[in-house]
Chain A
């Protein structure tokens, strides 16, 4: 049997499949399908210091090979998560990653400090949400701001810190290097690409927020390219995401340079996708005489 366990910033995940933030809630709805221990980990729905109502509907629009969302970080707030969701999540036998987003650097720091006292395995810094007016992606689009928020949070964070990067940037490698220098232990990438759809009958954008984040299979080649570029610039591990829908996509993402992957939008059409991916990955490793999933990381034979 090939070894599926992977290490990310000192945290071990029993397999490299992690549910992506925003697509999996806090896990409750998916336990109807399989034990959550099937997954290597869960990156929980993005948290803010206070409860957030989210954006007005419509929040969803389908696109060729993907979808747009403008949920806008609707969440019950970090204290509610710690009180109501985390104790239950910790009993599910899977890695728990708290994804945090803020309006100000102070918000991020306060949440990192608060969560450092709790039994989360890792903190994922969301500096790439395209759907909120303040903060969010604004921090993730320049090397300077990404580095400054990372180093500020680093000082308050006792947990392994993973920074989630936005693809809506000119130089992804530069930003990856900047957050590594600022003290990130890992990088997750990519968040959604900003997009838009318009109803030609009403001439109104389908999303009430006008724009939203594009996810789904259409993102995969962009995500692969960016992970590949970033991995040549940093030594810290990269968790790759963006449109992964099949086990073959998982293998590609690992080869591009990722140490683990996050699975998101495919869950909406097939909640069992991670189960199928695991099986496919295991078979691939065995058939190709690869001893472990970790051995695939970055092993693309680039021209």
Chain B
């Protein structure tokens, strides 16, 4: 079995979840069998030199589908947002290491920020009621996937930057009274850094999903460098192959 490959996939659905956020489901029988939570795919955009790396939000092995929830950032993601049911999209997938879910009888804290929330959904599934999502968004209209986590039985706490929904403040403000044994996090770097520090204070393992500008997606071009803490000091690893999920203590957080 190939660890990853390119696939021409039929688009089953693409709808706007919230302004600028799209919910794309594609049929990809083979990749759906092997993909794991926290992995990503590289979506081809006709006419663009580079594919767009997008985290896998949900995997349905029975239906053979992959779900992606992505934000429109520029011309490439704008083109992807215009895909319609029946269109084809070429995927390079599944890529990266994903979350090592480990013992799913543990209580997990899922900490997400904005477009970092989608990959946490697949990770939440085996934990169900033992998972709590604390998620931060810009404002009320940018809140995504809340009901999806609730349907899995997860606790859900929302914060917004402008206070228009849930707590007015940071994701880390929501965590104080939540007991947990492991943390999975994805979102902007300052949030990940704060979540990692919080987990460290509690002596709980924390895994963060990172992002970097990427080209090949398979570890050949060395474009998506990330500074990691090695045995002999810091070095550049790569988000696509060594990640995107890293133990938080291996990340060198920039000043």
A residues adjacent to B (C-beta < 8 A): 22-25, 28-30, 32-33, 45, 53-63, 65-67, 69, 71, 74, 206, 216-217, 265, 267-272
CB closest chain-A residue, reference B254: A56
B residues adjacent to A (C-beta < 8 A): 2-6, 44, 48-51, 76, 92, 212-227, 235-236, 241
Which of B216, B217, B218, B226 is within 8 Å of A57, CB to CB? Answer: B226
CB closest chain-A residue, reference B3: A32
| CB pairs A–B below 8 angstroms (5 shown) | A30-B218, A53-B236, A56-B236, A60-B214, A269-B50
Q: Report how many A-B pairs have Cβ atoms within 8 Å.
A: 101
Taking a contact as CB atoms under 8 Å apart, the answer to whether A271 and B50 are in contact is: no
Taking a contact as CB atoms under 8 Å apart, the answer to whether A23 and B225 are in contact is: no
Taking a contact as CB atoms under 8 Å apart, the answer to whether B5 and A33 are in contact is: yes
Residues of B near A271 (CB, < 8 A) are 6, 92, 218
Residues of A near B227 (CB, < 8 A) are 56-57
Interface of A is mostly: loop
CB closest chain-A residue, reference B212: A57
Taking a contact as CB atoms under 8 Å apart, the answer to whether A60 and B235 are in contact is: no
Taking a contact as CB atoms under 8 Å apart, the answer to whether A29 and B213 are in contact is: no
Given A32-B2, A59-B213, A268-B216, also A217-B49 (CB < 8 A): yes
Given A53-B235, A53-B236, A265-B49, also A29-B218 (CB < 8 A): yes
Taking a contact as CB atoms under 8 Å apart, the answer to whether B49 and A62 are in contact is: yes
Q: How far is the CB of B78 from chain A (nearest CB, A)?
A: 13
Residues of A near B224 (CB, < 8 A) are 57, 59-60
Taking a contact as CB atoms under 8 Å apart, the answer to whether A61 and B213 are in contact is: yes
Q: How far is the CB of B83 from chain A (nearest CB, A)?
A: 17
Which of B5, B213, B221, B226 is within 8 Å of A268, CB to CB? Answer: B221
Taking a contact as CB atoms under 8 Å apart, the answer to whether B213 and A25 are in contact is: no
Given A62-B49, A265-B49, also A24-B215 (CB < 8 A): no
Given A32-B5, A56-B225, also A269-B49 (CB < 8 A): yes
Question: 5 extra interchain contacts, Cβ-Cβ under 8 A, other than A74-B225, A271-B6?
Answer: A32-B3, A57-B226, A62-B76, A69-B223, A271-B218
Given A32-B2, A67-B49, A217-B49, also A54-B218 (CB < 8 A): no
Interchain CA distance A55-B219 in the complex, whole Å:
16
